[in-house]
Amino acid sequence: MTHRRPPTEAIVEWYNRKTEFLLEKYGPGPRVHYHTGWAAPDIVPAADRSHLRRQLWRSQEDMVWQAARAWGAEKNLTGHLLDQAGVRERVQPLLGDAHALEGPARFDAAFSFDATTYFDRESYFASLARVVHGGGWVFIEDTFLGRPELAAPFNEYWTTNIGWAHDYVAAAVQYGFDLFRLEDISLHSAGFWKLSIAYTRLLAEARPASIRWQSAIHAAYLDGGLRNLLLSFRKRDWSSGSDPFETCAEGNPSNPHS
């Protein structure tokens, strides 16, 4: 079952209200992560705020690297190559609604970090189908339902519409993408929430409701109520006349996960 997406204005309002606090908690940057981190489930949070802040940031950086590993980014998406080639200034950032991307299909890959719980899954994959070319990739890191009763509190706390992984797969298939790989990283997300709870306890402003909620999701990542997954999808490519599954075969150099 797909839950109804909150109105866009409600999401915008939520972020307008929270941004200052989020920058204080996760900033100052230059790279500010606002997503789940990767940490051992038995990690011991540091006692002082600056070390704990560093642990929290490190775990978020590690999540990016874990995703890059799972998705074969270094080998196949040429990130290092582009950095070294000095073409950074030719990267064009665009700000817009993920449901409204327009063709032509020109991208090798699209990825999303902790954002798809805000999206309508069908419109999102329809949007991706317009811009990702045949044989291209969609990578998603996010939290998914493991038990239905967690949907309401999750959505209420974050103004989201959390879904089941199988709903994503169904929406993807409908728009020409096949699930290529699913990796469950929930235990390491629990490690991140352990750090986040400890950090929230040290913030000047008392946040008992936040600590209660974070403790509930920490438990849910451990007991399967919530699942943090790394998903990759590949767009079918009938134009080349080749069988897309053949190009993904184990050991094939074009397989980013082999």
Ligand X SMILES: C[S@@+](CC[C@H](N)C(=O)[O-])C[C@H]1O[C@@H](n2cnc3c(N)ncnc32)[C@H](O)[C@@H]1O
Is 223 one of the binding residues for ligand X (CB under 6 A)?
no
Q: How many CB atoms lie within 10 A of CB 125?
A: 26
Q: Report d(CA 254, CA 258) in Å as an integer.
A: 8
Q: Report d(CA 251, CA 258) in Å as an integer.
A: 5
Q: Which of 202, 181, 173, 182 is nearest to 55 (CA)?
A: 202
Contact residue for ligand X among 18, 35, 69, 207 (CB under 6 A) = 35
In three-state secondary structure terms, 177 is: strand
Stretch that binds ligand X, among 33-41, 143-151, 173-181, 206-214 (CB under 6 A): 33-41
Burial of 43 (0-12, 13-18, 19+ CB in 10 A): middle
Contact residue for ligand X among 7, 13, 15, 254 (CB under 6 A) = 15
Contact residue for ligand X among 33, 194, 218, 235 (CB under 6 A) = 33
Nearest approach in angstroms of CB 236 to ligand X is 25
Q: Give whichever of 122 and 178 is closer to ligand X, judged by the CB atom.
A: 122
Stretch that binds ligand X, among 75-83, 92-100, 170-178, 238-246 (CB under 6 A): 92-100
Q: Report d(CA 55, CA 187) in Å as an integer.
A: 17
Contact residue for ligand X among 57, 107, 113, 157 (CB under 6 A) = 113
Is 25 one of the binding residues for ligand X (CB under 6 A)?
no
Q: Report d(CA 148, CA 131) in Å as an integer.
A: 33
Is 98 one of the binding residues for ligand X (CB under 6 A)?
yes
Which residues contact ligand X by CB under 6 A? 11, 15, 33-35, 97-99, 113-115, 118-119
